[in-house]
Amino acid sequence: MSNRAYLALAVPLIISGISTPILGAVDTAVVGRMPDASFIGGVAVGALIFNTMYWLLGFLRVSTSGFTSQAQGSNNEKEITLTFLRPMVIAVLFGIFFILMQYPILQAALYLVGAGEAVTGHAATYFSIRIWSAPFSLLSYVIIGWLVGLGKVVYSLATQIFMNVLNILLDFIFVLGFGWGVAGVASATLIAEISAVIFGLWIIFRAKQIDISKIKINMMLESAPLMKMLKVNGDLFLRTVCLLTMTGIFTSKGASMGEVTLAANAVLLQIHYLMAYFFGGFANASSILIGRAIGGKSEALYNRAYTLSAQWGILSAIVLSVCIYLFGEHIVSLFTTISTVKEMANSLLIWMIIFPLVGFWYAQLEGIFSGATEAKFIRNSIILALLIFLIANWLFFPIHHNDGLWLAFSLFMLSRSLFLWMYVPKLRRKIAVFEKTG
């Protein structure tokens, strides 16, 4: 595996990944043109609710990608189709559940965040519209994860770009054109998520990537692969619970310091997501290669994927930190024209310079462990990192306030990297055993 071949996988995945936070960034930037910070805060809180719901089911993308790449590595065509169908059923069921439970979910979320009345009203408007796309949003996780697992990164990119470009265009039409405000942002996302699933399924069936005619219901219920999928998904679910616990505490603490602080933190989090998804492109490329290494029992491919992931991750971290140092204030200005929000966000840019350096390695390692479907190590490492965050928040927030909150955030990211790195020798030994027994 050469650097060129690795980048051929990674670059489309980076573009695909970055398009997701760019969507959130455009949402923030569009409402940031409105005269009140509560609009930004409302969209931030509304998006947080959906991020919480959907990130809890992020395993639909991550595990689907891992299992699909392993099935491809072992040339098992039947299992390739089944790795697509099993999580689709889960996605539809959970999507319907979210719609049915929308009122208690919204009330509980708003209570926990504890934002002001204006922010709460905008968040409720956003939620009540976007909730109807829940099954489609989760189905898009499966479609994109399955295409990534097959290494069909161009198809994955096309689906993701289609959804996000449509969403961005509708943002401008509904918000800046029609003046619908927060309702326009939510409506744009609703239409885009439904359209993306239709587009993704059209791509898959047109390309004849699956053959449902040979699949029977009892195949989907085979105990061994089903239990393995549930176990991996359970570990990834707990991983996401920890991540969202941290995010929820972070947002709640920011909200407690007022609308300007909440809005400034929302802007910086969008910048953070852009960088995190950039790393995710390399992580997804490594996940594909690691999955193939597991399926094909190749220690050489594993070692090469690990090395390439480390090299490109380090280089990316340095470049991103330098870019934030040089252009951070200009980037913040793209998100909001509210002077008080800009001033506060600019004063906190040091944390965005630090983030790539402390956080790049956890993203790469999660890609490696996800490709190996060894989610228990991801689960264990993030539980430990969450404990570090809670301790740091307890120590530093009362003294340093918002800077203390960002310090706890940075220590959380660093801890994820260090704790997961400690499990690498165990994974390496497993790969060596697979090759010897293969």
Structural domain for 149, as ranges:
3-437
pLDDT in tens, the chain (438 residues): 678 888 888 888 787 766 665 666 677 677 777 666 677 778 878 877 887 787 778 778 888 888 888 888 777 778 888 888 888 988 999 999 999 999 999 988 888 777 677 788 888 898 999 999 999 989 998 998 888 888 888 888 888 889 888 988 998 899 888 888 888 988 998 999 999 999 999 988 887 767 676 767 777 667 677 777 888 888 888 988 898 889 888 888 888 888 888 888 988 988 888 888 888 888 888 888 888 888 777 888 888 888 999 999 999 999 999 999 999 999 998 877 788 889 999 999 999 999 999 988 888 998 899 888 888 999 999 999 999 999 999 999 999 889 999 999 999 999 999 999 999 888 887 776 655 555
CB 121 within 8 A of CB 147: no
HSE on the CB side for 170, CA within 13 Å? 20
CB 286 within 8 A of CB 371: yes
Stated pTM of the model: 0.77
CB 172 within 8 A of CB 30: yes
| Closest by Cα among 123, 130, 86 to 228 | 86
| Closest by Cα among 364, 421, 381 to 13 | 364
How far are the Cα atoms of 256, 267, 337, 399, 438 from residue 329, in angstroms, in the given order? 25, 12, 12, 26, 54
Number of domains within the chain: 1
| Closest by Cα among 22, 18, 20, 28 to 335 | 28
Note every long-range contact of 124-127, with CB atoms under 8 Å and residues 24 or more positions apart, other chains counting: 124/46, 125/42, 125/46, 125/182, 125/183, 125/186, 126/42, 126/43, 126/46, 126/47, 126/182, 126/183, 126/185, 126/186, 127/46, 127/49, 127/50, 127/102, 127/186
